[in-house]
Amino acid sequence: MTVEELRELAEKEKARQQEHKNRIMYCSAAGCNSCGADATKAALTKSLKEKGLDGEVLGTGCMGLCGEGPLVKLQSDETLYQRVDEVAAKRIVEEHILKGTKVKENLVDTASPFFSSQLKIVLENCGKINAESIEEYIAVGGYDALAKALTELQPTEVIEEIRKSGLRGRGGAGYPTGLKWGIVHKAKSEQKYVICNADEGDPGAFMDRSVLEGDPHRILEGMAIAGYAIGANQGFIYIRAEYPLAIERLKLAIKQAERLGLLGNRIFESQFNFRIDLRIGAGAFVCGEETALLRSIEGRRGRPRPRPPYPSERGLWGMPTLINNVETYANIAPIIVRGSAWFASIGTPKSAGTKVFALAGNIKNTGLIEVPMGIPLRKVIFDIGGGTLDGTEFKAAQTGGPSGGCIPKEYLDLPVDYESLATVGSIMGSGGMIVMDSTSNMVEVAKYFMEFCKDESCGKCIPCRVGTVHIHGLLDKISKGEATKDDVALLEELCAMVMKTSLCGLGQNAPNPVISTLRYFHKEYDRVLIDPITFVSSGAAKGESIHT
Amino acid sequence: MRHGFEGWKKYLLNAFVYAEIHSRGSFRRNQNIFNFMSQQPTPTKNGHPSGDNRFKLLDRSITKNHSRGDALIEVLHAAQGIFGFLENDLLVYIARSLKLPLSTVYGVATFYHFFRLKPKGEHTFVLCMGTACYVKGAAVIQKSVEEHCKCKLGETTADNKISLIQARCVGSCGLAPVAVLDDNVAGKLTPENAVLRIKQWQLETEQVTA
């Protein structure tokens, strides 16, 4: 395929879309699917047919408001409907499309802060195009960036552009992407690899899944550009087995891109060849760590190894390897097309661009949001999220999953970027944001995360394998009301030890939830502690329950 | 001329040594196959010695991956998809097909949560224990379901009807708390609701037996 052919295809697809007057989009991402999007689709198609209307019903990626599914959008006037069951679907066709009156009961107010406060770059195509059609992706400017990179830019120029944009790794640690690409580019080797880390293991995070389900070609394009920049001809996407729909869509997308010659040999008639293969994970949280992920792709137990050497020097099968997160690759194409200056102007000077968050927990509007970096936390939770459920008091927001921490209400005006979150003891993480209200018990929350880390520890290094078990044991003792002040002191000591001596990120960050709850919610720990002297005299030590 | 002849001689010698080593290697391997055939399943041209046709499906997946050792996880996925779970016999078969030590195959199969070494029940109840579900009360659901089934998460009921499985996060956090009942996601679950669904399964199976 040549650049001209790509443009031609885009025009052809645009003309085809013009022909269909009524294009109805329904959200076919996992959230809406599980509340009956299939039935909605069937009802929409049926009623269109019954009324003899010319129309097209297409499944798109996530539209954002996951708690109110199934969602349906009309392309003609961008009306968004929520909770569209079969009855509502029929009404939409009969009343809105035929008569032009909107169905008020299901209407979503798209002028509300949930929509107006967002800025979409990564998710710009999610919910707008048919996720299973490469033509629709090309019609909205897809693969333009790859064409530009291959025909106009040298690999070093691509890297320079990414470096200038200030893009940082969206997987959590925030390593500058351009710098990483530069290192792999400089490494001397005949074979290099590009890997997309789609092993989104954090509980409560579903951003990567939504991007892969809604806009899979964006990731393929980003990876191909990365391959060109660093000089690799093979890419792997490591994806969780828990995401069957995303796997299916990626497989389809790779096939479509290969058919059109956008992946494979001599892409856009250049000397550049690139192939992408899928590798499916098998349920191990530690495989999100890059060296463990490499082992897993090699078909072994996913156990991390000490770094250096970093994967950028010796990665997959000993070759220099570039590993980036899904969201990072999704940012590449817009940067190449619109330029680094545009991207750098969004967000804060140190953290450029936007971040996708999965809002969940005790909050009114659960779902997928994308906001510019540096936005105050209060705006995310109260404007976009609509505040806590039933107006209960906000207690904390948890970011970064089991490796992150809790942010209490004192820090609600904190700007959301890499550095600010680190100062309060949390991390950006991959983007899960769980809101907790006054009903949540923070000791239990800490225990919950520690149980997770205990189960997921790979067992290679002792601090993590043994330490997490003991931290969990202490937390259990505290939550049962059997612990004294000494136990809390021991807990603090143990956390510091595990943090400093563990081999990989899992162990080093595992104590974070405990430390941050101890820091901000010490009262909740104190409340359940017992005084050893009164404990003995009350007879509780002899086995009688203290709760009586 | 003399140099050319020397070169040829060297080439022939090398080829001979290579063939010798190669044939001896394969000869030894073949002998092993015959030795172990009586006790252990070994891939032959006709698949598994038991004649089970499902092994042909598995063989197809193995050849698709060119019998490469680093495709082990893919092959295990395929095997679990075909057989439902990975029994020891199957692991031995895979180890031999991919020419990997059995310890490696067993190690990988036990490392990842997704692989099951025991059969699962007729119905599966996968309770999501992700943070969002946890905050919204998944622990209460867990308790009531465990009490009703008289077994813990990760186990199967005594009559082999229902497997209770714990998931880390199914990614439907907007609908928390969530459970996946036989591949159908059920959102906004309550303890009563969850137990009711399980009771329905139990009723169904009773009706069938009646």
Distance, CA of A517 to CA of A520 (rounded, Å): 5
Question: What is the model's pLDDT at position B26?
Answer: 46
A283 and B134 in contact by Cβ < 8 A? no
The dihedral built from the CA positions of residue A425, A430, A431 and A432, taken in this order, carries a sign that is negative
Distance, CA of B200 to CA of B192 (rounded, Å): 12
Place of tokens 């705006």: A379
A299 and B73 in contact by Cβ < 8 A? yes
Nearest to A287 by CA among A172, A201, A399, A169: A201
Examine the domain organization and report whether B200 and B136 are in the same domain. Answer: yes
- Sorted by where each begins, the domain ranges of chain A are 3-116, 141-344, 354-437, 442-528
Beta bridge pairs of residue A79: A74
Express each pLDDT in A148-176 by its tens digit.
Answer: 999 999 999 999 999 999 999 988 788 99
- Alpha carbon separation from A171 to A57, A199, A336, A432 (Å, rounded): 34, 10, 21, 11
Chosen for mutation from B169, B181, B183, B188 (greatest number of chain A CBs closer than 10 Å) is B169
User: What's the count of helices (H) and strands (E) in chain B, helices before strands?
Assistant: 8, 4
Beta bridge pairs of residue A490: none
Please report, for the domain that includes residue B157, its CATH number.
3.40.30.10
- Considering only CB atoms, which chain B residues are within 8 Å of A283? 112-114, 168
- Considering only CB atoms, which chain A residues are within 8 Å of B172? 30-31, 34, 66, 206
Helix (H, G, I), strand (E, B) or coil at B194: helix
Examine the domain organization and report whether B172 and B199 are in the same domain. Answer: yes
Question: What is the model's pLDDT at position B35?
Answer: 45
Examine the domain organization and report whether B65 and B107 are in the same domain. Answer: yes
Question: What is the model's pLDDT at position A545?
Answer: 47
Nearest to A140 by CA among A56, A25, A217, A77: A217
The dihedral built from the CA positions of residue A488, A491, A492 and A493, taken in this order, carries a sign that is positive
Examine the domain organization and report whether B143 and B198 are in the same domain. Answer: yes
**Band of the pLDDT at A467, cuts 50, 70, 90?**
very high
B70 and A298 in contact by Cβ < 8 A? yes
User: How far apart are the CA of A520 and the nearest CA of chain B, in angstroms?
Assistant: 18
Helix (H, G, I), strand (E, B) or coil at A22: strand
What is the ipTM score, two decimals? 0.85
A344 burial type by CB count under 10 A (0-12 exposed, 13-18 middle, 19+ buried): middle
Alpha helices per DSSP H over A101-165:
113-116, 134-139, 144-152, 155-165
Examine the domain organization and report whether B176 and B105 are in the same domain. Answer: no
Distance, CA of A225 to CA of A232 (rounded, Å): 10
Q: What one-character DSSP code corresponds to residue A384?
A: I
A283 and B77 in contact by Cβ < 8 A? no
Q: Is-same-fold flag (A3-116; A141-344)?
A: no
Q: Is the peptide bond before A415 cis (omega within 30 degrees of 0)?
A: no
Sheet strands side by side (includes B162-167): B162-167, B123-128, B179-181, B184-186
Q: Which residue, B111, B134, B160, sits at the end of a domain? A: B111
B176 and A243 in contact by Cβ < 8 A? no
Question: What is the model's pLDDT at position A548?
Answer: 39
Helix (H, G, I), strand (E, B) or coil at A483: coil
B76 and A282 in contact by Cβ < 8 A? yes
Distance, CA of A100 to CA of A520 (rounded, Å): 54
A284 and B71 in contact by Cβ < 8 A? no
Cβ pair B154, B124 in contact under 8 A: no
- Considering only CB atoms, which chain A residues are within 8 Å of B135? 360-362, 434, 436, 440, 445
Beta bridge pairs of residue A236: A195, A277
Examine the domain organization and report whether B164 and B193 are in the same domain. Answer: yes
* Mean pLDDT across A104-132: 90
- Alpha carbon separation from B56 to B48, B50, B61, B98 (Å, rounded): 8, 11, 9, 15
A209 and B171 in contact by Cβ < 8 A? yes
Examine the domain organization and report whether B92 and B131 are in the same domain. Answer: no
Examine the domain organization and report whether B95 and B159 are in the same domain. Answer: no
| Residue A539 CB coordination number (10 Å) | 10
CATH of region A3-116: 3.40.30.10
A242 and B187 in contact by Cβ < 8 A? no
How many structural domains compose chain B? Answer: 2
Distance, CA of A373 to CA of A335 (rounded, Å): 16
Question: What is the model's pLDDT at position A450?
Answer: 93
Distance, CA of A367 to CA of B160 (rounded, Å): 37
Does residue B172 fall inside a structural domain? yes
Reading chain B (210 residues) residue by residue, the pLDDT tens digits are 455 666 666 666 666 555 555 554 444 444 444 444 445 555 555 567 777 888 888 999 999 888 888 899 999 999 999 998 899 999 999 999 999 999 999 999 999 988 988 888 888 888 888 888 888 888 889 988 888 888 888 888 888 888 888 887 777 777 878 888 887 788 888 888 888 888 888 887 777 666
B210 burial type by CB count under 10 A (0-12 exposed, 13-18 middle, 19+ buried): exposed
Examine the domain organization and report whether B140 and B200 are in the same domain. Answer: yes
B112 and A281 in contact by Cβ < 8 A? yes
The dihedral built from the CA positions of residue B35, B40, B43 and B44, taken in this order, carries a sign that is positive
Examine the domain organization and report whether B197 and B140 are in the same domain. Answer: yes
Distance, CA of A26 to CA of A162 (rounded, Å): 34
- Considering only CB atoms, which chain B residues are within 8 Å of A65? 174
Task: Give the range of the structural domain holding residue B76, as residue numbers without chain letter.
Answer: 54-111
**Band of the pLDDT at A432, cuts 50, 70, 90?**
confident
Does residue B74 fall inside a structural domain? yes
Distance, CA of B145 to CA of B147 (rounded, Å): 5
User: What's the count of helices (H) and strands (E) in chain A, helices before strands?
Assistant: 24, 13
Which of A208-217, A266-275, A525-534, B81-90 is least confident?
Answer: A525-534
Please give the structure tokens belonging to residue B31.
């002998």
CATH of region A354-437: 3.10.20.600
Does residue B23 fall inside a structural domain? no
A205 and B108 in contact by Cβ < 8 A? no
Return the residue of B nearest to A303 by Cα.
B111
B187 and A35 in contact by Cβ < 8 A? yes
Nearest to A327 by CA among A33, A120, A113: A120
Tell me which of B49 and A389 has the higher pLDDT: A389
Chosen for mutation from A434, A439, A442, A449 (greatest number of chain B CBs closer than 10 Å) is A434
Distance, CA of A218 to CA of A356 (rounded, Å): 15
Domain A442-528 CATH (choose: 1.20.1440.230, 1.20.1260.10, 3.30.70.100, 3.40.30.10): 1.20.1440.230
Beta bridge pairs of residue A397: A407, A435
Return the residue of B nearest to A282 by Cα.
B114
Return the residue of B nearest to A299 by Cα.
B70
Does residue B21 fall inside a structural domain? no
DSSP string, A207-253: HHHHHHHH-HHHHHHHHHHHHHHHT-SEEEEEE-TT-HHHHHHHHHH
- Considering only CB atoms, which chain A residues are within 8 Å of B77? 241, 280, 282
Please give the structure tokens belonging to residue A391.
């107006």
Q: What one-character DSSP code corresponds to residue A289?
A: S
CATH of region A141-344: 3.40.50.11540
Tell me which of A110 and B28 has the higher pLDDT: A110
Tell me which residue in A31, A67, A302 faces B111 most closely, judged by beta carbons: A302
Helix (H, G, I), strand (E, B) or coil at B115: coil
- Considering only CB atoms, which chain B residues are within 8 Å of A298? 70
A241 and B114 in contact by Cβ < 8 A? yes
Return the residue of A nearest to B116 by Cα.
A282
pLDDT at residue A184 tops 90: yes
| Residue A346 CB coordination number (10 Å) | 17
| pTM, rounded to two decimals | 0.87
- Considering only CB atoms, which chain B residues are within 8 Å of A30? 170-172, 185
Tell me which residue in B77, B172, B186 faces A282 most closely, judged by beta carbons: B77
**Band of the pLDDT at A293, cuts 50, 70, 90?**
very high
A190-A256-A252 Cα angle (round to 5): 100
Examine the domain organization and report whether B151 and B77 are in the same domain. Answer: no
Express each pLDDT in A511-539 by its tens digit.
Answer: 999 999 999 999 999 988 888 777 665 55
Tell me which residue in A65, A204, A301 faces B132 most closely, judged by beta carbons: A204
Please give the structure tokens belonging to residue A441.
């018990």
Chosen for mutation from B73, B140, B166, B185 (greatest number of chain A CBs closer than 10 Å) is B73
Distance, CA of A115 to CA of A75 (rounded, Å): 17
Helix (H, G, I), strand (E, B) or coil at A301: coil
Percent of chain A with pLDDT over 90: 64
Pairing state between β A275-280 and A367-372: unpaired
